[in-house]
Copies of this chain bind each other. A is one copy, B any other.
Amino acid sequence: MDNFTMSMPTEVLFGQEMTKNLSDMIKKYNGSRVLIVYGGGSVKKTGIYDMVTDHLKENGIFYKELAGVKPNPRISSVREGIKIIRENKLDFILAVGGGSVIDASKGMAAGSTYDGDPWDFYLRKAKLEKSPLPIGVILTLAATGSEMNGGSVVSNDETERKLPFRHPMLKPKFSILDPTFPFSLPKFHTAAGITDIMAHVFEQYFSPTDSAYLSNRLAEAIMKTCIHYAPKVMENPFDYEARANILWSGTLALNELLTYGKVTDWATHLIEHEISAIYDISHGAGLAILFPNWMKFVLDEDNVNKFIEFAKNVWDVNTKGKTELDIALESIERTREFFDFLEMPSSLTEVGIDDSRLEEMADKAIIFGDLGGFKKLGKEDVLEILKMSL
């Protein structure tokens, strides 16, 4: 078990009607002039936007807004937000939405106290030195875990790059998680969210650090919860218990808890970023296509035990009379079937991507070095996984 430092400053308010505490929380973190950031307008349809703005008005909190943040959020939105923050001397960012909205908000938070272009942070040209603006979150979708971590992934249309940027100071001050907010999500978004959560757990579960036993068991707890509730929530989107457990799984899957004491992987996420940077597909869809292929590619004699653990503890695979390899392959098959059940795509072809730019994606994926902590992947490996995924 490796050394680690735990710091979880984000306060979570979980449950129905927790939004009533919003203005108290903003004030607690010295906010008085707020930028509300949201996406394509679904928060208006669901009434969450009205609930939030009514609440702010009633409590005398000044706000401006930035609408239209897209999935795979663009650096152009980040720049626009920073402009509004500066023009109006805003001191707090309230992200109302899912991962894209939160990630864009983090870019704004960092960029608003920085003199240069916020894209510099993603290009690793600049380091976050000044305290960013504080962020609060009202989460509407279980998926990215961005509501409790310091990570942000943003795309640049001009350069077709999608890059991560991470800093402890970017962790939200608070996140409000109301399991009724995702009730009205389209089925596809619910399913892509569950896929994303599972993928986050995979990135941390598949690790060379066998000694982080407890972290591995915690990861299995989250995967089992997703597997248990996925059919329920696909059947009935208003199932509070299912929504609540999935929402909480999404947060715990990526708030660092599962990383403690171990090396993690993240190759698949970085490969996926190269796909969605060019083709703008849903992150969850890209992960569903790639992950089973990544598993097949990396599986070998040395790491087969990890897949057997995965098969037994997560998928309840009956191992009797089967070879180690068979058991491992069955765990991968079960993963594929789970994503199929969620009606996620299983090939790049299915989402309209051909082989014309695979080489370019593989090149870009390794721009900061080889990928992966479970198994190191160079350019040729990445290319092979992309080809397997066609």
Chain B residues lying within 8 Å of A241, measured Cβ to Cβ, are: 1, 211, 213
A338 within 8 A of B: no
Report if A214-B16 is in contact (Cβ < 8 Å); known contacts: A1-B244, A221-B221, A244-B261. no
Judge whether A5 and B12 touch: CB under 8 Å.
yes
Interface residues of A in 1-43 (CB under 8 A from B): 1-9, 11-18
Interface size range of chain A in the complex: 35 or more
Chain B residues lying within 8 Å of A252, measured Cβ to Cβ, are: 214
Report if A13-B9 is in contact (Cβ < 8 Å); known contacts: A214-B222, A217-B221. no
Closest CB-CB distance, A198 to chain B, in whole Å?
A: 14
Which of B5, B7, B224 touches A217 (beta carbons < 8 Å)? B224
Chain B residues lying within 8 Å of A185, measured Cβ to Cβ, are: none
A83 within 8 A of B: no
- Can you name the residue of chain B whose Cβ is closest to the Cβ of A216? B221
A249 within 8 A of B: yes
A265 within 8 A of B: no
Closest CB-CB distance, A201 to chain B, in whole Å?
A: 12
Contact with B along A196-237 (1 / 0, CB 8 A): 000000000000000111100110111011001100000000
Which of B11, B225, B249, B261 touches A6 (beta carbons < 8 Å)? B11
Report if A14-B4 is in contact (Cβ < 8 Å); known contacts: A213-B245, A248-B214. yes
- Complex CA gap A5/B21 in Å reads 11
Closest CB-CB distance, A257 to chain B, in whole Å?
A: 8
Chain B residues lying within 8 Å of A9, measured Cβ to Cβ, are: 9
- Complex CA gap A90/B221 in Å reads 44
Given contacts A3-B15, A214-B222, 15 further A-B contacts (CB under 8 A): A3-B17, A3-B18, A4-B12, A4-B14, A5-B12, A6-B14, A7-B12, A211-B241, A213-B228, A213-B241, A214-B221, A214-B252, A217-B220, A217-B222, A248-B261
